[in-house]
Structure 1
Amino acid sequence: MNAGPQNVFRALADPTRRQILIYLSNESLAVADIADRFDITRTAINKHLTILEEGNLIKREVSGRERRSSLNPEPLKSAFEWLGYFESFWDVRLSDLQREISKEMEKAKEGDQ
């Protein structure tokens, strides 16, 4: 399954799905195991898992009578790289803010003397 970036970001947009990914980063889990960790129905968990699967962020496979899910971290790399583009934007803005705060602090010190 080749998920477009919009499916990855859609999957990451929900806090429940992000928490599911954290759980799956440690081990593969059955739907029941995931549902036990949340205060929502198995049906709702299945919907979240479907969206994560559409984003190619998880792999689902049948193991006996269970359908287990495991993390597929590769699409996270492309999302991280895309977000990294904006890191320099924030670095510049935060540096500008820090410079302005320093100027204001210097003015305040001079005013106190």
Structure 2
Amino acid sequence: MIENQQPGTSQWRLSAKGTDAVGQIKGYASATSVNKGGNITFYVSVNPAAQNYTIDVYRIGWYQGLGGRLMQSIGPLIGVQQPTCPTDATTGMIECQWAPAYTLATQTSWTSGIYLALLT
């Protein structure tokens, strides 16, 4: 079956804006791109500490006009509150030094494309 003819979902779409308020989950990835079969590490912080979260990985595409396909659901995972990320006073760059939260081994069967990891 052609990839974009696989079953789709619109659950990848963000439904709410994040703030620095209680109940927040935020994170970043170790790389912007990995080859299929490669690993990517996620760095996640939660507020308050020790709240559970999930990582849902979607491939973005047509999928009957729904825009994405769920490839893998991870969790629930127990989150930790990571330290505040310092801002460089000269450049304004923010660089976090967080501990790894989860490493995903991508599947060799995944089609190349744009993937999105949704933290909830």
Please give the TM-score of this superposition, normalised by the length of structure 2: 0.25
Structure with the higher fraction of residues in helix conformation? 1
Higher percent of residues as strand: 2
Structure with greater contact order relative to length (CA < 8 Å, sep ≥ 6) = 2
TM-score, normalised by the number of residues in structure 1: 0.26
